[in-house]
Amino acid sequence: MKIHILGACGTFMGGVAILARRAGHEVSGADQHTYPPMSTLLEREGITLFEGYSAEPMHDAPDLVIIGNALSRGNPAVEYVLDNRLRFTSGPRWFGENYLRDHKVIAVAGTHGKTSTASMVAWILEHAGLNPGFLIGGVPLDFNVSARDGSGPFVVEADEYDTAFFDKRSKFVHYRPHIAILNNLEYDHADIFPDLAAIETQFHHLMRTIPGNGIVISNGSDTNLERVLARGCWSQLQRFSLDDKHDWRVEMLTPDGSVLRFSYQQQEVGVLEWSQCGSHNALNAMTALAAAVAANVPATTAIEALSTFKGVRRRLEMIALHDDIHVYDDFAHHPTAIRLTLEGLRRKVGNARILVGLEPRSNTMRAGVHADELGPALIAADRVWLKTSEGIDWDPKVALAALEGRCKIVTRVDDMLNEMQASLAPGDHVVFMSNGGFEAAPKRLAAHLKDR
């Protein structure tokens, strides 16, 4: 089949393109901007790429056009598809119906921790010799790719974002998992969902797609998820938390979470020593272990795999260490994720200084939905630079008043970097937080430290 993919250079759609190519289809793709590393990866797979959304690549009438959710009516490629009655579908629907249906699917859902948890599950399955496939919204450092086909179970990051301009259901309703992890649930994606209740409804729809002999692994301490479960759960349910009230429990044996003890139904399963930190990663490891056991991997094997887990690119990824100054690149873009990441780092580094460069870039953050939570989320930092820009219609100074003068508002990344460089001292930990490119600020600081 000849398939043309619109929006092919996004992480998810790029993964779909690779899997379609490896399934034997002739694949081409287009995106507004085609650039490395995704463009290089796709071209290496034999996928022809076109810059921009011209109708020309579709003049020979592909058998199917897969349309990414970043495209909408008015886009010239979309209008050509509709005007010429070409057969089209969404990425999640094609992925679910044509690829996942042949695999045992492990789906990782939740507002936070999807990428890290999915990466952990994939690494455990790989360590166990099960040759998993995966499609993850980030790059696990153990694999260095975000998507891979495999003969074993398939691990998918189950995003609640909408499917396409013509299908406003969440992506994950198309995946029909046998094992589903529900990490947590908070309000996010203000550009898509009017309120938390709307997101809970989508999670309820996900619950309806899981078979009766499937397994749901849910955060028992999350009241929002409990409301979802109260609306119906037809599968085997296991709950997890940091306490002993639920099926699975994880205990942090060190303040930074580098040593963890796992229990199932109050019986110790094992102890993990690893390189990750924070209570959020402790819970991610707990759910990954539970999912692996549900997939018939021995707990001892799963814990052994986690002990060598390298982490995920842009999840508190240390990209440089010069003159005892540590530079991290982090994807956190929600106050809860920011708080948990910085608290985990604080516990790891003790009294060392933590300096943060933050770019509120997501639609939800820019709209100011979580503005009141932002200041308290940054308390663990010693100094914060927040880059503001057009489209932010809330007052950053008011939002960050809890920092009591430890925050500087800037409009230019250059100014932020200059001020950071002037104040750095050995032993500092510098964390850049953004779900975008941040004008390459982390790499630019790393280069400055290397050259000075």
Are 76 and 174 part of one and the same domain? no
| Distance of alpha carbon 103 from alpha carbon 399, whole angstroms | 46
Q: Look at residue 36 and tell me if it is in a domain.
A: yes
Residue with tokens 């081409």: 28
382-392 pLDDT, tens per residue?
Answer: 999 988 877 77
Which residues are registered as beta bridge partners of 162? 170
**pTM for this predicted structure:** 0.88
Instruction: Please provide the average confidence, as pLDDT, over all residues in the chain.
Output: 92
23-52 pLDDT, tens per residue?
Answer: 999 999 999 887 777 888 899 899 999 999
Are 84 and 233 part of one and the same domain? no
Q: Is the pLDDT of residue 185 over 90?
A: yes
Are 267 and 131 part of one and the same domain? yes
Residue 314 is predicted with a pLDDT of 84
| pLDDT band with cut points at 50, 70 and 90 for residue 151 | very high
What is the arithmetic mean of pLDDT over 248-254? 96
Residue 390 is predicted with a pLDDT of 74
Bridge-based pairing state of the strands 162-164 and 167-170:
antiparallel
Instruction: Give the domain-ending residue among 306, 336, 355.
Output: 306
Which residues are registered as beta bridge partners of 261? 251, 271
| pLDDT band with cut points at 50, 70 and 90 for residue 108 | very high
- The length of the chain, given as a count of residues: 452
| pLDDT band with cut points at 50, 70 and 90 for residue 345 | very high
Are 207 and 156 part of one and the same domain? yes
Are 83 and 49 part of one and the same domain? yes
Instruction: Give the domain-ending residue among 277, 306, 335.
Output: 306
Are 227 and 321 part of one and the same domain? no
By CB atoms closer than 10 A (0-12, 13-18, 19+), residue 55 is middle
CB 45 within 8 A of CB 22: yes
Instruction: Give the domain-ending residue among 284, 306, 328.
Output: 306
Q: Look at residue 311 and tell me if it is in a domain.
A: no
Q: Which amino acid is at 128?
A: A
Are 327 and 441 part of one and the same domain? yes
Bridge-based pairing state of the strands 64-67 and 2-6:
parallel
Are 119 and 35 part of one and the same domain? no
Q: Which domain holds residue 158?
A: 99-306
Q: What is the CATH number of the domain that holds 157?
A: 3.40.1190.10
Residue 313 is predicted with a pLDDT of 86
Secondary structure in 3-state letters for the chain? CEEEEECCCCHHHHHHHHHHHHCCCEEEEEECCCCCCHHHHHHHCCCEEEECCCCHHHCCCCCEEEECCCCCCCCHHHHHHHHCCCCEEEHHHHHHHHCHHHCCEEEEECCCCHHHHHHHHHHHHHHCCCCCEEECCCCECCCCCCEECCCCCEEEECCCCEEECCEEEEHHHHCCCCEEEECCCCCCCCCCCCCHHHHHHHHHHHHHHCCCCCEEEEECCCHHHHHHHHCCCCCEEEEEECCCCCCEEEEECCCCCCEEEEEECCEEEEEEECCCCCHHHHHHHHHHHHHHHHCCCCHHHHHHHHCCCCCECCCCEEEEEECCEEEEEECCCCHHHHHHHHHHHHHHHCCCCEEEEECCCCHHHHCCCCHHHHHHHCCCCCEEEEECCCCCCCCHHHHCHHHCCCEEEECCHHHHHHHHHHHCCCCCEEEEECCCCHHHHHHHHHHHHHHC
198-246 pLDDT, tens per residue?
Answer: 999 999 999 999 999 999 999 999 999 999 999 999 999 999 999 888 9
Q: Look at residue 312 and tell me if it is in a domain.
A: no
Residue 277 is predicted with a pLDDT of 87
Bridge-based pairing state of the strands 354-358 and 429-433:
parallel
Share of the chain above pLDDT 70, in %: 98
Are 86 and 104 part of one and the same domain? no
